[in-house]
A and B are shown apart, each in its own frame.
Chain A
Amino acid sequence: MTFKKLVVLIVAAVTIAVFIIGFFGIASKYGDITTVYLNGVQNIIYDADFVNTGQIVLSPPAATEDSPAVQPTAEELDQIKAVIERRLEMFRLSDYSVQCDYENGKILLDLPLNSNIASDFTWILSTICGTGEITAYAGNADSVEGREVLFSTDDIVKINFDVEQDTFAYYYVFEMILDRDAKAALKEATTALSEEYASTEEIQYIMLWYNGAKIGTVRISDVIKNGRITYRSSTIEQTTMNELLVYLNTGTLPYTMSYDTIYSTAPAYGADPLRNVGLALACGFAAVFVYLIIRFRLIGLTGAIATLGTMGFSLFFLTGFMTGRGINGTSAALAAFILIALLCVETAIRNGNAVHNALAKTTVIKGVPEGLKATLPNSLILYAVVLLVGILLVLCGFNNAMVGLLSLLGLGVSGITALGTFGAVLIAGIVSAALFNILLDRVMIRSLVQSIKKPALYGGGDHE
């Protein structure tokens, strides 16, 4: 065996190995315990189309001894739906839908039951269904009876959250910016409190209540004129802190909704979606590779092997980092994966056509490199375009400024992360395509040219 043939075999073997490892991953099994070192396709965390969907029926308060059942109007239901959607956006759930049943005064919530939210499912549901009413009163006491509400959740127009740290502890800092009426009320109340402080020298407070309990106080020593009040705490529990953030950012429900029934429905891609989608794609790409080999012979064969390498490398990335993200995140990642695979096939087609044209005029030794050379600039430019698109999509999708802009416009923020997922897989895919479908493909072809000189085997004419 010549050295050139050995090069072809080694490159082809490495490329196919990358695909196999990317597809199956690396794991060891000891008894019932499986340790995964590198994720394979089976480790993808799927979203809505691939996992069971939980259909949750949310109902308003039922009749009690003291009060009749609440019958929400259509407007109230629309308001509840809007608040629940905003709350779901805060959780950045992979996919969801919220629908109103106006006749029965209920809400139907669809959530994908993937492993990302399974552990927090009950907490997420209870948070979504809570009223989210946070109220502030002047003073510091164990009861709010007889006290006037200074401001509440719906009076807060913006919330700035930060975590500060000193030698002893972490502090969660909530800066609440109030609307005009609440700002005036706060100014009036703090004027009275600061005067009290000046005359008695006793520290004065504004207390915050949530869920029928006092969660903390804000010390007042001066008049607050700008409508900004800051609550700082190191003792608040993390779940409460998360709930506060959700509620302060999304507003209140008129009453606590209860979730009576949770139905689990089968995934859109069948009971075994991985097998179904995998089977379809495997059949499709097998047919494509056969077509490439019949049409372009050795150029098609090396193109197919290189494409397998790109697919394997993209799968490393997809299964390792890009699953269970954003709305339809996995669908977006898979779409980018298929797109990359087809772009690689397009590169192979372009190479095949160029070599075919070159071989019409000259020999294999001259024609094949000439054909490949002719396609190189375009391939590089196109890959650069896709890389640029991928980078910009990632910048948009995973950028807090973009999320902030969308929130400011009142738009859904979780959808934007699908762009990031799509872009990230595009970047990984196109970088690996540059390695396999441009560099290694050419290494294989150039090595083959040295030992196999029949033009027909490269899809060419009669020049020997």
Chain B
Amino acid sequence: MSKAVTQKKTGGRMLYLLLAVALIAVALVVYLVVGPAPSRDNTSYTRYTAYIPYEFDMETLPALQDAIAEVAGVPVEVDVVIDVGNGNNALEIVVVPAGEIDEKAVVGMLNSDYTEMEIEELVSGVYSPAFSTRRAVTFGFVYLLALLLIYVIAAFITDGKNGLVVLLATILNTLLVAALYVLCRIPNLRTLIIAVAMVCVLTPYLCIPKLRAFADIRQRMKKPQASAAATEETVKNRLGGIDFLVVSALVCAALVVVGLLLGVRALSYFGIMIFAAYGCAVYTAYLVTPALWVSFNKK
């Protein structure tokens, strides 16, 4: 392979790295301008409650949510909760991010259109985000610990330079997953945490064989008797990125579709974030790692 072709290939691979960095930059801008998708985890919210009779028909909940949102003029989450103390049903209206709604108008609408609810007034409270700084710091600490672990293992199996490649790939992967989380406007922080945990296992799992394959190829290239076929075989036997991506897509599509069909949004978010973790891991391992490897192993 001529030097010019090699350089062209390396340049092409650098493009994937630049694409990833660009995506992260866009997500950062979106985050700074618009902020994360508002959820109870990261945003203050207002919560209104009122007791309602046992006979409330849960089937009417989606229509009720739309009706309340129309009167309130802002998106609301409506649910029916149970007061464990007295066994009564209570209507819960949550406004995220925190904001006031015209309580009288909402009560008026409920009393005219949903007379069976017999609501007199709404009790309100404005609550701070659920995910505290303390827990965020704990998560950050644990993540740093995981990175250290990944470097040590990768360096043990390959070498110090390649350990660094795996470490960088993992950090890039995490940022990519976080970027997709921001861009997809997913309002569920737990799914991000699970996706990051998966990234920390998947990235070394996919990157290490790739790096070992590169080391093998370089070794074979030094020996005149090593054929191109042997090199090709080494790569083929170790790679299956597309199949892996298809498989993860099938599992995640099932989670998303079943979530949508059953009206369970959390399940769909879970599916999207698992796919994001797998997709980013495959992208990083198969398209970005070669560029990183070349940069770290220049001779």
A contact residues vs B (CB 8 Å cutoff): 49, 54-55, 57, 81-82, 85, 97-104, 106, 108, 110, 260-266, 268-270, 276-277, 279-281, 283-285, 287-288, 291-292, 295, 328, 331-332, 335, 338-339, 342-343, 345-346, 349-350, 352-354, 357, 371, 374-375, 378, 381-382, 385-386, 388-389, 392-393, 396, 406, 409-412, 415-416, 419, 422, 426
Q: A99-B127, A342-B278 are in contact. Are A406 and B141 (CB under 8 A)?
A: yes
- Which chain B positions have C-beta within 8 A of A55? 81
Contact A287 B190 (CB under 8 A): no
Q: In the assembly, what is the distance between CA of A106 and CA of B128, in Å?
A: 11
- Which chain A positions have C-beta within 8 A of B248? 342
Q: A99-B127, A295-B243, A392-B149 are in contact. Are A270 and B262 (CB under 8 A)?
A: yes
Q: What band does the interface of chain B fall in when counting residues whose beta carbon is under 8 Å from A?
A: 35 or more
How many whole Å from B299's CB to the nearest CB in chain A? 25
Contact B190 A331 (CB under 8 A): yes
CB of B83 within 8 Å of the partner chain: yes
- Which chain A positions have C-beta within 8 A of B137? 411
Q: A265-B79, A281-B255 are in contact. Are A98 and B240 (CB under 8 A)?
A: no
Q: A99-B129, A415-B142 are in contact. Are A353 and B237 (CB under 8 A)?
A: yes
Q: A101-B125, A103-B126 are in contact. Are A280 and B271 (CB under 8 A)?
A: yes
Contact B266 A378 (CB under 8 A): no
Contact A54 B84 (CB under 8 A): yes
- Which chain B positions have C-beta within 8 A of A269? 264, 266-267
Q: In the assembly, what is the distance between CA of A285 and CA of B142, in Å?
A: 31
Contact A270 B237 (CB under 8 A): no
Contact A396 B157 (CB under 8 A): no
Q: In the assembly, what is the distance between CA of A100 and CA of B45, in Å?
A: 10
Across the two chains, which residue of chain B brings its CB closest to A296? B243
Contact B201 A339 (CB under 8 A): yes
Partner of A49, one of B84, B125, B266: B266
The binding surface of chain B is classed by DSSP as helix
Q: In the assembly, what is the distance between CA of A331 and CA of B193, in Å?
A: 10
Contact B267 A276 (CB under 8 A): yes
Q: A262-B83, A269-B267, A349-B247 are in contact. Are A416 and B236 (CB under 8 A)?
A: no
Contact A335 B194 (CB under 8 A): yes
Q: In the assembly, what is the distance between CA of A392 and CA of B138, in Å?
A: 18
CB of B246 within 8 Å of the partner chain: yes
Contact A110 B126 (CB under 8 A): no
- Which chain B positions have C-beta within 8 A of A411? 134, 137-138, 141
CB of B197 within 8 Å of the partner chain: yes
CB of B172 within 8 Å of the partner chain: no
- Which chain B positions have C-beta within 8 A of A338? 251, 274
Contact A287 B250 (CB under 8 A): yes
Partner of A100, one of B128, B139, B188, B278: B128
Indicate with 1 or 0, residue by residue over B188-212, a CB within 8 angstroms of chain A CB atoms: 1010011001100110110011001
A-B pairs with lowest CB-CB distance, top 5: A284-B254, A284-B251, A97-B130, A280-B258, A99-B127
Partner of A287, one of B145, B254, B259, B271: B254
How many whole Å from B270's CB to the nearest CB in chain A? 8
Extra pairs beyond A100-B128, A287-B251, A422-B197 (20, CB < 8 Å) = A54-B84, A108-B47, A110-B130, A263-B81, A276-B258, A279-B258, A284-B253, A284-B254, A287-B250, A328-B194, A339-B198, A346-B205, A346-B244, A349-B243, A350-B237, A354-B236, A389-B150, A412-B134, A415-B139, A415-B142
Contact B190 A328 (CB under 8 A): yes
- Which chain B positions have C-beta within 8 A of A49? 190, 266
Q: In the assembly, what is the distance between CA of A265 and CA of B236, in Å?
A: 51
Contact A386 B201 (CB under 8 A): yes
- Which chain B positions have C-beta within 8 A of A328? 190, 193-194
In the complex, which of the residues A281, A284, A345, A346 has the most CB atoms of chain B within 10 Å of its own CB atom? A284
- Which chain A positions have C-beta within 8 A of B259? 276, 280
Q: A264-B84, A350-B238 are in contact. Are A108 and B125 (CB under 8 A)?
A: yes
Contact A102 B128 (CB under 8 A): yes
Contact B84 A382 (CB under 8 A): no
Contact B255 A97 (CB under 8 A): no
Contact A265 B92 (CB under 8 A): yes
- Which chain B positions have C-beta within 8 A of A266? 79
Across the two chains, which residue of chain A brings its CB closest to B258? A280
Contact B250 A263 (CB under 8 A): no
Q: A49-B266, A388-B153 are in contact. Are A409 and B141 (CB under 8 A)?
A: yes
Q: In the assembly, what is the distance between CA of A283 and CA of B271, in Å?
A: 13
- 9 inter-chain pairs at a CB distance below 8 angstroms, sorted by A residue, are A97-B131, A99-B129, A101-B127, A108-B125, A269-B267, A285-B251, A389-B149, A396-B145, A412-B134
Q: In the assembly, what is the distance between CA of A260 and CA of B244, in Å?
A: 52
Q: In the assembly, what is the distance between CA of A328 and CA of B251, in Å?
A: 21
Across the two chains, which residue of chain A brings its CB closest to B202? A339
Q: In the assembly, what is the distance between CA of A277 and CA of B266, in Å?
A: 10
CB of B96 within 8 Å of the partner chain: no
How many whole Å from A268's CB to the nearest CB in chain B? 4
Contact B127 A263 (CB under 8 A): no
- Which chain A positions have C-beta within 8 A of B205? 343, 346, 382, 385-386
CB within 8 Å of A: which B166-204 residues: 188, 190, 193-194, 197-198, 201-202, 204
Q: In the assembly, what is the distance between CA of A375 and CA of B237, in Å?
A: 7
Contact A99 B128 (CB under 8 A): yes
Indicate with 1 or 0, residue by residue over B101-137, a CB within 8 angstroms of chain A CB atoms: 0000000000000000000000001111111101101
- Which chain B positions have C-beta within 8 A of A283? 254, 257-258
Q: A266-B79, A389-B153, A411-B141 are in contact. Are A349 and B266 (CB under 8 A)?
A: no
Q: In the assembly, what is the distance between CA of A3 and CA of B90, in Å?
A: 66
Partner of B252, one of A103, A284, A335: A284
Across the two chains, which residue of chain A brings its CB closest to B200? A389
- Which chain B positions have C-beta within 8 A of A389? 149-150, 153, 201, 204
How many whole Å from A245's CB to the nearest CB in chain B? 20
How many whole Å from B11's CB to the nearest CB in chain A? 28
Q: In the assembly, what is the distance between CA of A284 and CA of B244, in Å?
A: 14
Contact B127 A100 (CB under 8 A): yes
- Which chain A positions have C-beta within 8 A of B201? 339, 386, 389, 426
Across the two chains, which residue of chain A brings its CB closest to B41? A97
CB of B224 within 8 Å of the partner chain: no
Q: In the assembly, what is the distance between CA of A350 and CA of B243, in Å?
A: 9
Contact A101 B126 (CB under 8 A): yes
CB of B49 within 8 Å of the partner chain: yes
CB of B85 within 8 Å of the partner chain: yes
- Which chain A positions have C-beta within 8 A of B197? 332, 335, 422
CB within 8 Å of A: which B61-106 residues: 79, 81-85, 90, 92
